[in-house]
Amino acid sequence: MNNFREILEQHDWEKVKASIYAKTHQDVLNALQAIKPTLEDMKALLSPAAEAHLEKMALQSMELTKKRFGKTIQLFAPMYLSNECQNICTYCGFSLDNKIKRKTLSGLEILAEMEAIKSSGFQHILLVTGEANQTVNIDYFLKAIELMKPHLSTISIEFQPLETEEYHQLQQAGVYAVLVYQETYHQEVYKSYHPKGKKSNFCYRLETPDRIGKAQMHKIGLGVLLGLEDWRVDSYFCALHLHYLEQRYWQTKYSISFPRMRPAEGIIEPNIIVSDKNLVQLLTAYRIFNEDVELSISTRESEHFRNHVIPLGVTSMSAGSKTNPGGYSVAPDSLEQFEISDERSVEEIVKIIEDAGYDPVFKDWEKSYA
């Protein structure tokens, strides 16, 4: 197989869905006892039958996470470089058809934003943009990284899908991780949410983690947008994707994020409601399936939810986030991508992590260690 697309094409969505929904309590118990859970076990852990075993799943996830990661939570802040975008995505505030004021940070503004974020203690920043290839392109990205790299220990990016050579350039410039979410693995449904722009090309997006892996990036982040399609089936395909990538690009680390749809200007309502209980099942299923994968929960989630999931398998959290370009200092009124839910300050997040008996970590990686 040359890429994950060829693997996905061998699977029928409806058949996979039927097999997840057919899993029994015994299948779940077998998955919980497996020394190395398989993809079939992952189906069982994601199934409706597993809901009756949530407490056991939570305990197992907690123990596995402590064993592999210790009692630590990595902290990072997103920094939006631009809200320009040439795509129509029906769930996003930056969508081309939203008549909002567009903003792209200049070099000086990038430095000012970075300093504002750093003043809260962060050494790890996740850079985020829309997709506007005329202005916010590889040259712009390399310039931004060049400006920021001397001042930070870790830079991750969540940009539009790029070519392998461009990822290689970014890796060489000091980028540590690339996050790219497939949104949904259901190809027909994907088209309805992405009617216009380069992002409407399902296959190009699907093959992006392969291009990132070929560029030898240190870490790749995967995920689906929870609320678009059946979360059990989409998450199974995401786990399949993770499994494929780990075997193929074995020197790369992996993370999974769990974005649940949030309100934003001009966007649609979720098609599927993913409850807090569902999200706990999903998070703990990933941990039991894969001891090494990093699991990240953002400020999309409520204070209550974030307080309670800290010990359940999470390894990283964003804090004090702004989802608009310039949101920390230079343009606080620019339009945000979505409303955040947990609006607590960085100090407050540090306190709840410590109160749970965990260590908040602002810096865990140095380029000199690579």
Terminal alpha carbon distance of the chain:
29
Asked whether position 89 contacts ligand SF4 by CB under 6 A, the answer is yes
Smaller CB separation from ligand SF4, 94 or 176: 94
Asked whether position 338 contacts ligand SF4 by CB under 6 A, the answer is no
CA-nearest of 127, 209, 220, 197 to 161 is 209
- Shortest Cβ 264–ligand SF4 spacing (Å): 9
Out of 37, 130, 213, 221, the only residue in the binding site for ligand SF4 (CB under 6 A) is: 130
Report the distance separating Cα 84 and Cα 89, nearest Å: 13
- Shortest Cβ 233–ligand SF4 spacing (Å): 21
Smaller CB separation from ligand SF4, 169 or 324: 324
The interface with ligand SF4 within residues 188-227 (CB under 6 A) comprises: 199
Q: Which stretch binds ligand SF4 (CB under 6 A): 35-43, 81-89, 162-170, 307-315?
A: 81-89
Smaller CB separation from ligand SF4, 249 or 258: 258
| 242 contact partners, CB below 8 Å, separation of at least 6 | 222, 254, 256, 290, 293
Q: Please say whether the beta carbons of 267 and 90 come within 8 A.
A: yes
Out of 27, 41, 113, 131, the only residue in the binding site for ligand SF4 (CB under 6 A) is: 131
Asked whether position 323 contacts ligand SF4 by CB under 6 A, the answer is no
- Shortest Cβ 181–ligand SF4 spacing (Å): 9
- Shortest Cβ 137–ligand SF4 spacing (Å): 14
One-letter identity of residue 3: N
Asked whether position 95 contacts ligand SF4 by CB under 6 A, the answer is yes
Smaller CB separation from ligand SF4, 205 or 211: 205
Smaller CB separation from ligand SF4, 259 or 320: 259
Asked whether position 136 contacts ligand SF4 by CB under 6 A, the answer is no
Asked whether position 264 contacts ligand SF4 by CB under 6 A, the answer is no
Question: What is the dihedral angle through the alpha carbons of 250, 159, 328, 134, rounded to the nearest 10 degrees?
Answer: 160
Q: Which stretch binds ligand SF4 (CB under 6 A): 87-95, 103-111, 115-123, 209-217?
A: 87-95
Q: Which stretch binds ligand SF4 (CB under 6 A): 38-46, 84-92, 163-171, 312-320?
A: 84-92
Smaller CB separation from ligand SF4, 170 or 264: 264
Residues near ligand SF4 (CB under 6 A), total: 9
Asked whether position 92 contacts ligand SF4 by CB under 6 A, the answer is yes
- Shortest Cβ 277–ligand SF4 spacing (Å): 27
The residues that touch ligand SF4, with contacts defined as CB under 6 A, are: 85, 87, 89, 92, 94-95, 130-131, 199
